Structure 1
Amino acid sequence: MSVAQIIAIIGSIPLFSLRTFLPAFLTAFFLSYPEYFPGMGEVSPLPEDAFISQDWVLFLLGGLSLLEIIGDKSTEVRNLIKEAETYMKPLSFLLINLSFIDEASANILEKVQWAAFNPLWILLTVGTLAVYWLAGLRRDFISFLEDIDEDDNLFIGKITSWLEDSLVVFGFFLLIWTGILMVIIYAAVIAFLVFLGKRYDKKLEKQKVECPQCRQSNLPFAVKCVNCKHEMTHVHKIGILGQRKKALVQHVKKHRLNLLSHRRCPTCGNKLQSSKPHQQCKECGTAIFDSPPLKDFIKSQNRKFYKITIFSFFLGFVPVLGFVVSAVIANIHLFSPYRKYIPRGSSFFTKLFIKFLTFLFFLLGIALGFLAAPAYIALRYYLWKRKFIAQTTSVITS
């Protein structure tokens, strides 16, 4: 086994931890047609009868890569395959990297055994386990980003997805040109992500407030202690990204409604795991939409709707930018609080219809933003509010 082959196998580990099919397609295409890659004209391609160089295999991997790139931009699709990817990526890594071994290397490896184990399989086993671990790390990091921007209102998910696509393509070319450098860079990136995760956990722990009665640690925006239900004396406001604000809460009822709009328990402030509108908090047992009741939540959203719609009218006089800013603000404060309580998958066609409306209103907003922005917000708000009320009604009747 050559040093180049070892570097190629190790260097492809982070690529497969990001995507399942894109690095597989790039690898198969490179092994079949190395002359299309700058500086690789002297590399001998795989034999035409090799499985991975078959045209139908390349077309299949190419099609799956395209679907993977498109699907990862959708929050619903990404959540649907999130768990399966953790297992698919190591399998894809194992199957593709077997193609790096040429016939001469295979003959040598048949004669060289380390304690009755083929060194190739030792390396591939370690690599497969590494892909599995990194894919899990990536899944947890994506989940962390989704907790910050669950509905992708600030496009954090889409930006991250495009960045991952770019890293796979860039990393692949870096791998075939300077494999050692690529391994060093990705090792540094992984170490940085692990550091960020640990730092965030420590910061979150430091922000917790101790209950004056039972000494239980609580989230900084908890209204009552998660353990003894004692009212907290210092309650911090919650930001649009779910972060703690320095300002303290002045109106508890308004704060509880704000927690509900983030799909958090209005008592202990913990994140609600289910998207069902009627549920109990698993941390403190509070019945959601019991206090404050459902009607107060809808009234609160209606008040926001009137204010934001009027604001969007004046903001719409700024060409293009006014419409975009109005849409983002409405997405965060009006639509997202309703969407958080609608199970994923049940609103697929609604979202398709809204994307179509967004495109039409954006074209109109280029010149007539002061009309397009309020009309767009009013229509979207009506659609999501109706969907939310239908969901709560169906739960009650069932």
Structure 2
Amino acid sequence: MRILLVGPNHPGGSIPPYLDVLQAGLAAAGAHVERVGSDGPPYDPERGGFRPTSEIVAAARALLSQVDLGAFDVVSLHFGNLEVEQLLPVLWSGARRPPVVYHVHSLAWTLFDRHCPDPRLRAAVAQAAASMDGYVFFGGHAARTLSRPPYVPAATCFLPTTIPPCTPASPRPRGDLPRLASLYGYPAPWKDAARLVDALARLRHPVRFHLAGPFWDDPAQVGAVLPVGVSRHGVAELTVTPAYLDAPARASLVARTSVAVFPYRPAATFQGSGAIADYLAHGVPVVAADVANMAELVADAGVIVPPGDPAALAAALDRFLGDAGHRQRLADAAAARAGLFRRDTHTAACLDLYERVLTRRKVVA
């Protein structure tokens, strides 16, 4: 099978590491895979803002001109809120092309809504997203939420871990040190830092919490002031590292973590967490807010709490920290679910869907 992988292709972000994993998995399964994508969101640091709509459209056209769509059996399409790739289905509408399978990374697209308002383009992107030839959903929440024809083939499977096998990692510490809880990624609008700090201040059991990722030192994006480095919040120690973590750094953090914490809030664009797969794939239990697909991802490998409730979050963490039997049960359940988040599991589901989409195209034709 000849597959064109279309999606952002640059260091950082959440989608590019996933595409690295998917590309490697598809190739290992025998597919011929080529990749094309943007080198970053259409943001101009010198202007201090997003590029004009005309430049964004031109960038999308330039991206499309790099490939011969007719040379492939399937297009695997990926974009989130900001990528210019969201314009490609608009630009190739009506053209001769192979079937397109859309991997749903976001449920709404803010580029032409919030950043570069253009109602016409925003409507065109939404219409194109609702008329693909197949869909990969990273959980049932997106499958239920995104508008699409009911007869179009789809697969519902979880995001795989983006930490490659055998990535070197620091060992978990032993002894009487407080347990480590962690969360990494960008301070997206659905990450509730203020509630996290509130919950940490309520804890009865000591814990070290590591929060890592670009821009956690920017109050405008975080919605709270978080000191860089180490700060105390009651019996909790919070370390903030405002830097992108590559695969070895993510592997080290996950290996040292006793419990992952996802204090999220509801958001229209949010379909589910990618970072959570790194923890669950390595048998790390999770405490998460009940938004989007979090409960489906975690199942019995953690605890789900109401969003926006720091007292409930603190209570869940305190029980984990203070109850050894409870902690072991969650760790065992996380280890049992780990296979759901591995590369080959995800790749097999995607290839099966691509085959079904191709078969349907032949039957319809």
TM-score normalised over the length of structure 2: 0.24
Larger Rg: 1
Instruction: Report which of the two has the higher share of strand.
Output: 2
Of structures 1 and 2, the one with the larger relative CO (CA 8 A, separation 6+) is 2
Instruction: Report which of the two has the higher share of helix.
Output: 1
TM-score normalised over the length of structure 1: 0.23
